[in-house]
Amino acid sequence: MNPNKRPDDMKRITTPELADAFIAEQIAALREQIGSKKVLLALSGGVDSSVVAALLIKAVGKQLVCVHVNHGLLRKGEPEQVINVFRNQMDANLVYVDAVDRFLDKLAGVAEPEKKRKIIGAEFIRVFEEEARKLDDIDFLAQGTIYPDILESEDGVKAHHNVGGLPDDLQFELVEPVKLLFKDEVRVVGKALGLPDNMVYRQPFPGPGLGVRCLGAITRDRLECVRESDAILREEFALNGLEGKVWQYFTAVPDFKSVGIKDGKRTFAYPVILRMVNTTDAMTAQVAEIPFALLQKITNRITTEVPGVNRVVLDLTPKPSGTIEWE
């Protein structure tokens, strides 16, 4: 039986009861797999890695070492939130690594999307290698792989976002407890595990972070345009009761400028792309219907508050023909 193939008779996890059964099954499996050894987890703070962390904390407690890497490609306020939720609230064994300059220097001048993904993934592995060498007796590497990751990597749509490639003297056995689940199921499991709503219903976030939303070669100025415009979009959705009602919404900034006018003067600045979609399994997606007045407010705030931006455009493409992310 293919361990990466979801069984045809596997029930979709839609209720707390089904989630509880899955959790009990996984805790038993994790304890059997890990025993008294230690496991290292890449904790981004997204739904997938957070659910894996919560499962592992229940299963093996302090045997889990969570490593949160700030690569400079996270959304506004995310590193602080990860530290607060996991270190302060859940008492997780958390290692924080500030690697912003290291990642951005490696990515300088790289425009091709798959090359960016591979650089980010490979650098993650190097960071984990360094952190693992500081720790004793790490035998396992946990990952927040979910089923669409496996399906899309097999179809050649994108590189698998959980990248391998550790050196021979530092090989870990993989722990992937949610790899057969779809995103909606992961959320149900997270809720049943008692994770806070703002984490359970947090938006899906690609492994390379804002690196695939700062289109083309990443520059620090455009990266800040993405980060600040995204924060405005999320804030407005929260203020207007849309948080959790639209599956994914984010901004992207392309690597070209357009002419505009501000305070009576000609500007030459970046456009911001708004992307807002609904889906159940991330395999197909439909554009979310957002009130026009709210779109106008978001546009006004972005063009007023984000330096280097003079235009906002709306992406109306379903999946297919477009993927959810631009890169």
Note whether 193 and 228 are same-domain residues: no
Q: Where are the alpha helices (DSSP H) in the chain?
A: 16-34, 47-60, 78-82, 100-107, 113-134, 147-154, 183-192, 197-200, 220-239, 292-305
Q: What is the pTM of this model?
A: 0.80
**Which of 170, 200, 230 corresponds to the end of one domain?**
200
Question: CA dist 280 to 18, 134, 153, 187, Å?
Answer: 18, 40, 19, 11
List the CATH number of the domain containing 97. 3.40.50.620
Note whether 50 and 159 are same-domain residues: yes
**Which of 200, 232, 259 corresponds to the end of one domain?**
200
Which tens digit of pLDDT belongs to each residue from 301-327?
999 999 999 999 999 999 999 999 999
**Nearest partner of 216 among 88, 126, 322, 110, judged by Cα:** 110
**Which of 174, 200, 226 corresponds to the end of one domain?**
200
What is the model's pLDDT at position 157? 46
List the CATH number of the domain containing 249. 3.30.300.10
Note whether 278 and 194 are same-domain residues: no
Note whether 46 and 195 are same-domain residues: yes
Note whether 167 and 27 are same-domain residues: yes
pLDDT mean over 43-50: 89
Structural domain harbouring 260: 213-314
What is the model's pLDDT at position 219? 97
- Categorize the per-residue pLDDT at 163 as very low, low, confident or very high, splitting at 50, 70 and 90: very low
Note whether 270 and 136 are same-domain residues: no
Note whether 192 and 282 are same-domain residues: no
Evaluate if residue 299 carries a pLDDT over 80. yes
